[in-house]
Structures are given as C-alpha cells and as structure tokens.
Amino acid sequence: MVRGRDEVYVAAMPLRATKGPPQLLMSAAYSLNLWDFQHFMVIIKPSSLSQVLVFDFQPKDPEDIYVALAALYGRAVPGTVLVRQLKKLPRNKCWLVGYSKAEADAMEIAREFNKEWETNLRIGLHDCRDYTNSKNLFQTLCCLSPFMERTIC
C-alpha cells in the first residue's frame, strides 16, 4: 500500500447468462474451468474510502438472449460503461496493477476516460478486455507495477 494513493486493480468475473438453464450451464462450465468466459473490469480502491468502485464495459442488457446471440456472432451491440460500489475487493481473480499517480484523482480520471469510450460493443474487437487493457486509461490513471508495464504498454 502506498500512503495517500488509490489502489488500481483488474478483476475477472464469470459472464452472466439469462436465468434458467443457460445460467446453470454457464455457471457449471465456469466452476469446472471448462470455458474461460470471463468479464473483466477495473476496480479503484480510494485511499480515503473503505468501499471500492468498479468501472466496467458491458452490453446495456447483458441478460437479453438476442443481445447475447448478436454479440457472439460478432455484431455490434449497444454497450454501456457502468460505475458501481462494492463493500470490498473480490477475493478471487483480482490483481493489483498499480497505484494512482501522485496528486491524481483516480476516480475522476476514470470518469473522464469513460466519457470518451466508444460504447458499441463487439466481442473480441471492442469489449471489456479492450476496456481493461486500454493504455490510455492506465497510463493516465496510475503508476503501473513493472509486470503490468510490460503487459499493457
């Protein structure tokens, strides 16, 4: 922990599916590591707050079967950048990537980045992975760990 600086994380979560059999199948496949369908997001843990903020890019209606089918076939679907609060960091698949730059407001930088983010989502071309791997976001947001500097930049 670096005193007075916000911590910046990347996390992966299982993709959601429509309720019923598709949701059970996706959950089972994820639990058994049969499929690697994951949703990636940026998490900021402000030095001044106990809660953390999640920034992520996903379809506007991720549980709509027609949106899911269109996305899987490579078609653009309406997306949105969400900002949510969590009480604590996820315990699994959550990695510290760095700390906010000195005197930087990591949350404000992320909000400004989100205003410019193109929201037409295309899986494999412009999706949550591209959002979390964006050089523009991380280079302005934080001082990356040496590993992340090599990985992202």
Residue 88 carries which side chain, given as an amino acid letter?
A: K
Instruction: Give residue 99's pLDDT.
Output: 85
Chain centroid to Cα 42, Å, comes to 4
Kindly report the backbone phi and psi dihedral angles of residue 151, in degrees, each rounded to the nearest multiple of 5, phi listed first: -75, -45
Rounded to two decimals, the pTM is 0.78
Residue 104 carries which side chain, given as an amino acid letter?
A: A
Q: Mean pLDDT in the chain?
A: 79
Confidence of residue 132 (pLDDT cuts 50, 70, 90): confident
Instruction: Give residue 45's pLDDT.
Output: 92
Taking the CA atoms of residue 46, residue 9, residue 119 and residue 128 in that order, the dihedral angle to the nearest 10 degrees is -160
- Of residues 130 and 48, more confidence is placed in 130
Instruction: Give residue 153's pLDDT.
Output: 43
Does residue 104 register a pLDDT over 50? yes
Q: Contact, 5 vs 100, CB < 8 A?
A: yes
Mean pLDDT for the stretch of residues 42-67? 86
Report the side by side order of strands in the sheet with 120-121. Answer: 120-121, 77-86, 52-59, 38-45, 7-14, 94-100, 142-144
Does residue 6 register a pLDDT over 80? yes
Residue 89 carries which side chain, given as an amino acid letter?
A: L
Tokens at 9, concatenated: 């994380």
Instruction: Give residue 133's pLDDT.
Output: 83
Does residue 118 register a pLDDT over 80? yes
